[in-house]
Each structure stands twice: as C-alpha cells, then as structure tokens.
Amino acid sequence: MDVVNAQSAHIVTSMDSVFTHLKTHSKWKELMAIENQSLVDRQDDPRVALLKDAGIQSVADMKSDAVDDNDDDDVDAEDVLEQLQSFVDSHVAISSLTVTAKRVDKEFQNYVQSVMGHLGHFKPGPLKKVERCLSKLENDYQNAVYPKSAKLLDI
C-alpha cells in the first residue's frame, strides 16, 4: 500500500491544487448553487420509451395476476415470477438496450463532438459490454423495480 500511496501522492496534491484554484473563481458560488437534476432516470420513461416491448411489459404486468391466481402450495408464484423477470432483464432487455446503443452511438458521438469539440480534443468512450451491464444490475440496481435494466442509462 505504501507504493500506491507514494505513486498517488503527486496526483492527489495536483488535484487538490486545481480544486483550491477553482474555488477562487468569481462564479464558484453560482456553480455550487446548481442543484443536481435527473430529467430521465430510467430507459422506460415515456420520454425515452425504450423497453416498452410487449414481452418485457407483459412480464411486468404478470405480478398481480400470478400472485392472485396461485392456488398451488408447492409452487411459489412470486419466486417463479422473480426468476422470469431476472431472465428477461438479463437477456432480453439488456440485449435490446445494447443493440439500440450500437445503432445510435455514431450519431450520438458526432453530436457530442459538435457540442464539445471546440473545448479540446474529443475522444468517444466505448460502449458498455453486456457483462458490465449485468454486473451493474447485480451490484448497483439490485433493488430497482422491474425492469431493472431500465436504470442502465449510460451504455
């Protein structure tokens, strides 16, 4: 750990210096007064309208029906529904989102380049791989409502 601390000390000092300098700017208080806003926090938001496929939505609509109609004590309808939702989320929904991301990526990157390019060198970031999307579902969005994959906004 000493090696890591020694290597990062210069970077931390440098970043602290940048932060201290920024705080002296005349518009610092205005900048800090800006509140964090989420305009869209899910891909299934009506303004985005992704993940509205009939198959994905029908699984969302099953919950009340499956639990109400369950007369079989041997089968836990909630567990079965949870497994179905997990399968649809991790296979169908993520596939849909990653395919959509691939389709719009070039146009999106061109737009960002046109807006931000005058500020310096612009280098597009890579698309998230399916494995990373699955990891985010398991670690970051485990308590999100179905479809959890709708929380993946930055593919």
20-61, pLDDT tens digit by residue?
Answer: 999 999 999 999 999 888 889 999 999 998 998 888 888 888
- Alpha carbon distance 65, 112 (integer Å): 45
Q: Which segments of the chain does DSSP mark as H helices, in order?
A: 2-23, 28-33, 54-68, 77-87, 94-116, 130-139
The C-alpha atoms of residue 83 and residue 122 are separated, in whole angstroms, by: 42
**Closest Cα partner for 92 from 138, 54, 132, 40?**
54
Q: Report the alpha-carbon distance of residue 79 to residue 63 in Å, rounded.
A: 11
What are 137-147's pLDDT values in tens digits? 999 999 999 99
pLDDT per position as a tens digit, 80-128: 888 999 999 999 999 999 999 999 999 999 999 999 988 888 999 999 9
Number of other residues whose CB lies within 10 A of the CB of residue 51: 25
Is residue 106 within 8 A of residue 117, CB to CB? The reply is no
Radius of gyration of the chain (CA): 22
Q: Give the residue carrying structure tokens 């849909």.
A: 96
Task: Please give the model's pTM, rounded to 2 decimal places.
Answer: 0.70
Non-local CB neighbours of 88 within 8 Å, separated by 6+ positions: 55, 56, 59, 147
pLDDT over 70 (residue 66)? no
Q: What confidence tier does 1 reach under pLDDT thresholds 50, 70, 90?
A: confident
CA neighbor of 45 nearest in space, from 132, 141, 127, 145: 145
Sign of CA dihedral 149, 141, 139, 3: positive
Q: At what angle do helices 94-116 and 130-139 cross, to 10 degrees?
A: 100
